[in-house]
Amino acid sequence: MWLTTASSRIFHSILGLFIKLLSVPLLLIVDLLFTLGNLLLPRKKHGQVSALQLQPLWPAFQAPSKGESRSPCVALNSLANHGIIARSGRGIGFPELQKAVQTTFNTSPTFARLVTKYAADMLGRDFKKDTLDLNDLCVHNGIEADGSWTSAYNRGAAAQETDVGARNINRARCRLAARSNPPCSGLG
């Protein structure tokens, strides 16, 4: 009995590792096939390429309310602010996020899969079963880095702040002014 269980666990571990190692090359091969298909197949008529051409307007913008989750990624925040994904920015499934990225930004299926799979792997979550809150992506050196406006390194006194969606007009003015003038002391 224990030999069967041990063998099964070893087999599934090796299979999981094999799948992880091959996932990116397989995505690249699929993307190459899409590219070859685009070169060889007849061109589509105007209006038949993407759903975006049929529905060019996004839902209305709604600024995030207090307690809603936002990430260092402006594109994902836009999806939430426009209600394309949950406005709260919480409990978003990775497959749902993949579909939203692909259809909203008109990316290839492989690119949308790659970026959402990267996020799931970065967070140590299962792509098919788990969910994320947008602020989960605030992991240092995941998406944001020391040079990011949302980095604790750049937030000075506000380093303990977890709301990356909060506006800080003073910080923005200082960062923009520092391009041509001596730095100001109003960061934070």
Q: Is residue 21 part of a domain?
A: yes
Structural domain boundaries, residue 2: 1-34
Phi and psi dihedrals of 62, rounded to 5? -140, 120
Q: Is residue 6 part of a domain?
A: yes
Q: What is the pLDDT of residue 57?
A: 73
Give tens-digit pLDDT for 86-113.
999 999 999 999 999 998 888 888 899 9
Tokens 């030999």 — which residue? 3
Please identify every stretch of the chain with a pLDDT value under 50, giving residue numbers as ranges. 157-161, 187-188
Q: What is the pLDDT of residue 166?
A: 55
Q: Is residue 186 part of a domain?
A: no
Q: What is the pLDDT of residue 188?
A: 45
Radius of gyration of the chain (CA): 21
CB of 50 closer than 8 Å to CB of 56 = no
CB of 132 closer than 8 Å to CB of 70 = no
CB of 135 closer than 8 Å to CB of 89 = yes
Q: Is residue 56 part of a domain?
A: no
Q: Is residue 61 part of a domain?
A: no
Neighbours of 172 (CB within 10 A): 11
Q: What is the pLDDT of residue 129?
A: 94
Q: Is residue 108 part of a domain?
A: no
Q: What is the pLDDT of residue 160?
A: 46
Q: Is residue 160 part of a domain?
A: no
Q: Is residue 10 part of a domain?
A: yes
The number of domains in the chain is 1
